[in-house]
Amino acid sequence: MNGNGKFTLKHLAVILLCSLSIIGSVGVANAYALFYAPMTEVWNVSRTAATFHVTVSSVVSGFATPALSKLSRKIKLRYMFVAGTILYLIAGLVIANAKNITVGNVASVFKGIGGSCISFIFVTAIINNWFIKSRGLILGIILSSSGLSTSIMSPVLQGVIDNQGFRAAYILTVMITVCMCAPFALLCPIKPEDVGAQAYGLQAEGGKGRKSLGLELRYFSVLFISLITMAAVGQVLLNMVSHIPSYAITKGFGSQAGAWRLSAVMIGNVAFKLIVGVIIDRFNVHIGYTTAVICGIAGARMILLNGSSAILFVLAGLLYGAVYSSVMVCVPNLYGQYYSGASYMDAYSLSNLFCSLFSSAVFTVVNYLYDVTGSYDLSFAGAIAAGVIGLAVGVFLSRKYSGKSA
């Protein structure tokens, strides 16, 4: 084995393979909103009906993840990754060529199962195996690849839709996902011991670095409920991102202004994943979570102020972009702080199921409130209130376990 847990080319290869998987599974998925309008026209259905297959896929994926977590103890993860990639490919091609929405909805069930096999939950589990030192920064770097890839792919896919139609563009996205995830599924070593290496930061003299407390998972414990609450708060804040362009229009700004603010959010998304990752490594995950949520609250407050200053308008978006790091960087590190091994996978996968259902409910409530009030003010105010709750729960949890060392 490589001694003293030094950083080697094998560790770099894991980072690259995981980044490719995140680009394929998360980065591409962020661009799927481009298909909603053309799907409505091609299938000749309402926008709600055209986008229902996305909800189907998301809900199925949420329920499938805990089951797959249990299944991973009986079969090799690599088999699951490969099977999921193949299933995702087949289901995606069926959706692209579907003649009606019913076929698309049925195929989305299998697409959701395949997608859950290559979701970032399993990527974070591999990162936990391979890295003890600088885990927060490394996870931030890997997850930042999704925001960068989305910004590049969106205009390309829009061009394909305009020139070749949604079916050709959808097939392209499916192929990109498969091409990005296949190297990860086939080549990424699950544990460093599998290839004669050690986790980065694992010292021969007894093990230094940030480790998990390795607590036993109890589903109705204060700890588990608190962690789910903190994860759900991140989902509430993240849910409002998709409404930012519409919010700008309701306040009298042009669509271009809304696009600029959304672009600022995406820049903040990438930047804060790295910043919060460093904070987690330098201090602890609770300080990282607090930083991300406070910045998100500040951004939401500035959005509500509705200032006309271009600088403040963009700054609000930059700060609000921190909510991505609260969900994608802080949450897996929070679960990794308290649980390890099978307990980590069970806890994180169940949390993902709850947050998927909760996020769908929040999305519906936000749209309902807009229909009733004609404004997103109440929803952004609710997101701020949720952020405050998350901060309070985080402080409580950090103090409750402050006397225990990892």
Mean pLDDT of 58-78: 85
Confidence of residue 384 (pLDDT cuts 50, 70, 90): very high
Q: Is residue 2's pLDDT more than 70? A: no
> Which range (151-160, 195-204, 244-253, 265-274) has the least confidence?
244-253
pLDDT score for 207 = 46
The band of 234, judged by pLDDT with boundaries at 50, 70 and 90, is very high
Residue 11, token pair as written in the block: 């560790």
Q: How many CB atoms lie within 10 A of CB 371?
A: 8
Q: Which CATH architecture has domain 222-400?
A: Up-down Bundle (1.20)
When mean pLDDT is compared across 131-140, 222-231, 253-262, the lowest value belongs to 253-262
pLDDT (tens digit per residue) in 133-168: 888 889 888 888 877 777 777 778 878 888 898 899
Q: What is the pTM of this model?
A: 0.78
Average pLDDT over residues 294-323: 85
- Return residue ranges of the chain for CATH 1.20.1250.20: 3-195, 222-400
Q: Determine the pLDDT at residue 124.
A: 84
CA separation, residue 72 to residues 82, 331, 336 (Å) = 13, 21, 18
Residues 36 and 50: beta-carbon distance below 8 Å: yes
Reported as a single tens digit per residue, the pLDDT across 82-98 is 999 999 999 999 999 99
CATH C-level class of 3-195: mainly alpha
First-last CA distance in the chain: 24
- Written as six digits, the tokens of 221 are 């414990």
Q: Work out the average pLDDT over 344-361.
A: 85
Given a cut of 50, is residue 232 above it in pLDDT?
A: yes
pLDDT beyond 50 at 204? no
